[in-house]
């Protein structure tokens, strides 16, 4: 990691810390430190910081880290996390405008309370709106691209841009946001309805998620993308199960026995354990079915120690 980083960073009104552990801030509960961690006060603070930041310094933005493995060696450069100054929700007649730090679930609930339907699927996606846009998150038959009008970003040079959905290159669990850009605010469309309708749908989604997923465990959500139907009619979890990986362990990491497209930190797993377990699952699935699984969970940072041997 870079030495003397503090002297290279411009002043901010928000909070700037160094050598901050990130493991406890991720859903998996693993990972090394951020060399520098910035929580900007608001979008103007973020813009001013990025406009003066030396271009050679690496910058990465973290949301709620619900679909992320931060490797044990941590993240060099500057990590940005949006907080209070990016959490406003404004309800309009046919949609909501919300800050990127808003929880997906919170946006779904606000829309439902205002009598807007179409955003209920967000109740089934752990994480924040900014991250949902960056990966075109989806669940229960809908995804962000279906409801997004525009996203406001601050690019790596500190410029504000409002990009229509067509400019974001949204595809299956991906976007084409400019390199280093930070989503700060978005507009999502809704359809006026009796509030009881979206509220009932949110309740259904919550119940389905609780019944089928290890929601109370330290996990990162769906680990692998479903294969192209032209390759296989089976979902990723079915391929993992058929390969005999349900309950498979590496160190403190385990394939969930409840839903085997979820990896768990059972107690004392490292990021290396979890990543190695995922790679072992991919190998076994390829051997048994000929299908190459692809990670849906993002893996970032500097590798740490080597993992153990699959149990």
Any catalytic annotation for residue 222?
A: yes
Q: Which of 39, 173, 187, 218 is catalytic?
A: 173
C-beta separation of 225 from 231 below 8 A:
no
Query: DSSP code of 169?
Result: T
Instruction: Indicate the helix (H) or strand (E) that contains 269.
Output: none
In terms of Cα–Cα distance, which of 237, 268, 236 is closest to 250? 268
∠ CA 168-74-273, rounded to 5°: 95
> Is 243 exposed, middle or buried (CB count within 10 Å of its CB: 0-12, 13-18, 19+)?
buried
3-state secondary structure of 30: coil
Q: Tell me whether residue 173 is one of the annotated catalytic residues.
A: yes
3-state class (DSSP) for residue 21: strand
Distance between CA 25 and CA 177 in Å, rounded? 24
Between CA 161 and CA 167 the distance in angstroms is 11
Residue 163 backbone dihedrals phi, psi, to 5 degrees = -110, 130
Is 296 annotated as catalytic? Answer: yes
**Alpha helices (H) along 115-224:** 129-134, 196-212
Describe the crossing of helices 196-212 and 104-113 by its angle, rounded to 10 degrees. 150
Three-state DSSP string of 99-148:
ECCCEHHHHHHHHHHCCEECCHHHHHCCCEHHHHHHCCCEECCEEHHHCE
Q: Which residues contact 142 (CB under 8 A, 6 or more apart)?
A: 118, 121
Catalytic residue among 222, 249, 256, 275: 222
List 35, 109, 120, 296, catalytic entry: 296
Distance CA 290, CA 234 (A): 12
Spatial distance between the Cα atoms of 138 and 148, rounded to a whole number of angstroms = 12
Active site residues: 173, 222, 296
């Amino acid at each position: 990691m870079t030495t003397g980083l503090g002297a290279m960073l411009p002043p901010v009104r928000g909070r700037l810390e160094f050598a901050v552990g990130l493991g406890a801030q991720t859903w998996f509960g693993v990972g090394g430190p951020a060399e520098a961690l910035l929580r900007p006060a608001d979008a103007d603070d973020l813009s001013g910081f990025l406009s003066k930041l030396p271009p050679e310094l690496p910058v990465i933005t973290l949301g709620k880290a619900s679909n992320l493995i931060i490797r044990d060696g941590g993240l060099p450069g500057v990590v940005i996390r949006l907080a209070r100054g990016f959490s406003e929700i404004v309800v309009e007649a046919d949609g909501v405008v919300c800050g990127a730090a808003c929880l997906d679930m919170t946006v779904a609930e606000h829309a439902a309370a205002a009598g807007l339907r179409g955003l209920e699927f967000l109740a089934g996606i752990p994480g924040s709106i900014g991250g949902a846009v960056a990966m075109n998150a989806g669940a229960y038959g809908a995804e962000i691209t279906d409801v997004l009008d525009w996203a406001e970003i601050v690019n790596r040079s500190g410029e504000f841009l409002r990009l229509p959905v067509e400019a974001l290159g949204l595809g299956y669990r991906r976007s084409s946001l400019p390199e280093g850009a930070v989503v700060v605010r978005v507009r999502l469309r809704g359809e006026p309805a009796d509030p009881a309708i979206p509220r009932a749908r949110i309740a259904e989604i919550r119940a389905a998620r609780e019944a089928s997923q290890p929601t109370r465990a330290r996990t990162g959500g769906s680990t692998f993308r479903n294969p192209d139907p032209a390759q296989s009619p089976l979902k990723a979890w079915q391929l993992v199960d058929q390969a005999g990986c349900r309950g498979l362990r590496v160190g403190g990491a385990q394939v969930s026995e409840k839903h085997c497209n979820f990896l768990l930190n059972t107690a004392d797993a490292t990021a290396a354990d979890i990543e190695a377990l995922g790679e072992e699952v991919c190998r076994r699935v390829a051997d048994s079915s000929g299908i190459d699984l692809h990670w849906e969970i993002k893996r970032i940072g500097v590798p740490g120690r080597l993992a153990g041997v699959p149990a």
